[in-house]
Structure formats: structure tokens, C-alpha cells
Amino acid sequence: MRITMIGSGYVGLVSGACFADFGHDVTCVDLNEQTISALKNGQIPIFEPGLEALVSENAKAGRLTFTTDLAPAVANAEVVFIGVGTPSRRGDGHADLSYVYAAAADIARAVTGFTVVVTKSTVPVGTGDEVERIIRETNPAADVVVVSNPEFLREGAAIEDFKKPDRIVIGLEDERARDVMSDVYRPLYLNQAPLMFTGRRTAELIKYAGNAFLAMKITFINEMADLCERTGANFQDVARGIGLDGRIGSKFLNAGPGYGGSCFPTDTLVLVKTGQDYDAPLRLVEATVEVNDRRKRAMGQKVIAAMGGNVRGKTIGILGLTFKPNTDDMRDAPSIAAVQALQDAGAKISAFDPEGIEMAKQVINNVDDADDAYGVADGADGLVLVTEWSAFRGLDLKRLHAAMNGNTFVDLGNVYRQKEAEAAGLSYTSIGRAIGADQTVGTIAAE
């Protein structure tokens, strides 16, 4: 099929490359000339495992092209996806839909023949209705069906998620779109991908409801971890004990510094605003947002406490800055608030992240970057593991201690065992473990 993807950011580029890999003829459109120029030269503007090779292979095969010229790309397409950004709007936290609506108007002016227009961007309930209204108003003669097809891509595993999805949600109000969208995803049928057809507003809400539920699960287990620290309970066993209940499940039961990224913080906030707009307040989601925001800065206070209550003039090394491993995304990363809390207390910061250091410099000031984990430890009074990259899972703890001025090691990812850290001469602090307790790392799966 001939597919055009409006927007060549994270969602648009991953989706476009995967559709092309299915055998579709895909054109990715972006108004940013630098982005398109870089993509034409094989340069990927984001870090996502496997994406560079996927883009390169399909571009060479002629199935994936890039352009800034929207009109001909839309006019030639059977299906047009809107994959532009919907960041939180300043002032009220609601989703900024200006890019979505601008794309809808541009599509309306360029469309020819029967076309299915699909919102792939994460958008609040009712956005599809407004997209359809804009298209009808801009071009009353347009033969267009508007569909909602939310994405469920985890950063760091986006290609796998796209090709082996848990579900594909398609919201439509016109049955003519059903066969078209089935053809778009037909290459996945061999994997028995579950296509779920529903109403457009229902599809829009499914995305927010799913992310909000996961965010609540993360926030709940983080608070349980805090309770375990104070009561002396074994957090790993608590998490495993409830995760073995099939109604709860084991995923998202790892304690940590809080959730971040481009989805959970934005989607929970938008869902809260939507509930308020429709006079159906979502108190659990409201509490989740508040607790998670407080937790990020509290991680800085946790480090200060581990270092005796005073970090003024001391150097603290940070291992990992991105909100999760296998991405360079710094949006709402827990490291930001934690580092700021440490800097406010007078600490000097050095850091290393395998992929995110350049992005981090755009949102965190006065951070010295090192070449690797041992460079971060060099001369540090304390060391904090924030993001559990694979590169940090097998560190030589004795070598780390030897490079440090101090011996404080705060493990916010619960990657190491207390006994092995103390055997290396480190004063070890983690999450959910009572002081002095030696609790082994659990087997709970995390995403």
C-alpha cells in the first residue's frame, strides 16, 4: 500500500520504517529540513536499538523515502498517518494539539480520492472528531475517513513492539476504513496480531487509560518499597509475592526513582485534565502524578542522607541520566530533579550515560561528563546509579571504590547486592531495602 507518515520524530520514524519493512511504500514527511536532510543521509536523529539499520535497509530498497513536500506525498497516498508531537501545553498541562490540527488542514488541501487519515499521535478523547471537522471545513469535497490508531511503543524496544504487538487498536466511525486498516497490518497476521476494532473515542481513551494504569502500578510499588525500608520487610519478596497473583502480574514491580519519558508524565497529566473537563475527576491518577513528581526530587535527598546529610562542596558521580536504558530520551527523566536537588545542596556533579549525555546537557546545567563509569567514580565522594543500563550491571566495584575519594554508593536501580558492595569497601544504599539488610536482587521482570 502507499502510506504517508506526517511527522518523522520517534513515533513517525519507527512506524514508517516498520511499515516499509512490511513491504508497503512509505513516505515520511517532516517540515524540518535538517531532519529530512539527515535522514536522507542515513543519520538517525534519535537513538533506538535497530532503527538505523531498519531505516537504511528500507531506504536502499526504495520502500522508504523522506521529504519536506507534503502535498504530493499526501495526494499519492491511500493512507495518511499523523505522527506529530503532542507535548504538554504550557499553563494547563493539556496536550498541545496545534501540530495535529495543522497537519489535518494540510492534508485536507492536498488529498485526492478516497483516503484514510489516521491519528497515530497520542491525542485526547474527541481529537479525531476535530480532525474530521477541520478536514471537512478546509475541503468539503474531500473523500476522507478519519481513524484513531494509537501507538504502544516502548522506547528501547519500539521495533519489537511494532512487529510483535500485544494489540493493535483501531478506532473508526466509518466501516469503509476497516478493510483498509486490515490491509495495512496484514503482514502481522502470521503473528496472530490481535486487531481490536472499536469506536474512535474509545481508541483514543485506551491509550491514556493503559499508560495511566502502568504509571499507577509503578508509583504504588515505589511507595511499598519506601514502607519496606522503614519496616524491615523484604521488598523483593513483597514484589514477587504480589506479582505471582495472575490478576496483578510481575511486570512494572521494580522500585526505582520514579517514571519519566515522553509518555507516562504527559499522558497521566492529560488524562487528569480530561477528567476535569468532563466532570469525571480521576483521583487515583491525580495522586499518581503528585507522588511521582515528589519522588524524583526525593531521590536527591536520599543521596544526601546517605552521605551524612551534607554534600556541600562534595563531588557526586551519576551513572545513567536517561529516563530508562536503551534510549537517549531525557524528557522528564528522574535524574533531572535528583541532580538539581543535589546541586541546590551545594554538590558538584559528574556523570556518564552511554547515549544520553548530549541530550542531558540541554536540560541539566553544570555537569561534567566522563568517558565511562570509572571516569565518573574518579575523585567522587559519592556515586549514584540512576539508570540501569546494561553497561552498569557488571561493574568492578573494587575498582570503583579505589577511584573514589569517598565510599558512598547509592543504587537507585537495585542492581547490586549489599554484601558484594560492602565487600568492595562501599557504603551501600538502595531502594526498598532496610539499612543493614542483605536482600538479593529479585527476578521480577521490568519494562
From the list 292, 285, 324, 302, the residue with the least C-alpha distance to 223 is 292
Instruction: Check residue 309 and report its DSSP letter.
Output: T
**What does the block give as the cell for 150?**
494509537
Q: What is the 3-state secondary structure (H, E, C) of 83-132?
A: CCCCCECCCCCCECCHHHHHHHHHHHHHCCCCEEEEECCCCCCCHHHHHH
Residue 359 makes CB contacts below 8 A (sequence gap 6+) with: 322, 328, 329, 330
What residues contact 99, with CB distance under 8 A and at least 6 apart? 7, 84, 85, 86, 121
User: Could you tell me the three cell numbers for 196?
Assistant: 481490536
- Rounded to whole angstroms, how far apart are CA atoms 93 and 87? 9
> What is the pairing mode between strands 315-319 and 168-171?
unpaired
Catalytic residues: 263
Beta bridge partners of 350: 317, 368
> DSSP character for 220?
H
Query: Quick check: 376 and 349 in contact, CB under 8 A?
Result: no
Burial annotation 35-46 (CB, 10 A radius, 16+ → b, else e): bbeebeeeebeb
CA 368 remoteness from chain centre: 25
CA dihedral 304, 309, 312, 318 (to 10 degrees): -20
CA 214 to chain centre: 12
Question: Which are the contacts of 84, defined by CB distance < 8 A and separation ≥ 6?
Answer: 6, 7, 9, 12, 99, 100, 103, 121
Helix (H, G, I), strand (E, B) or coil at 168: strand
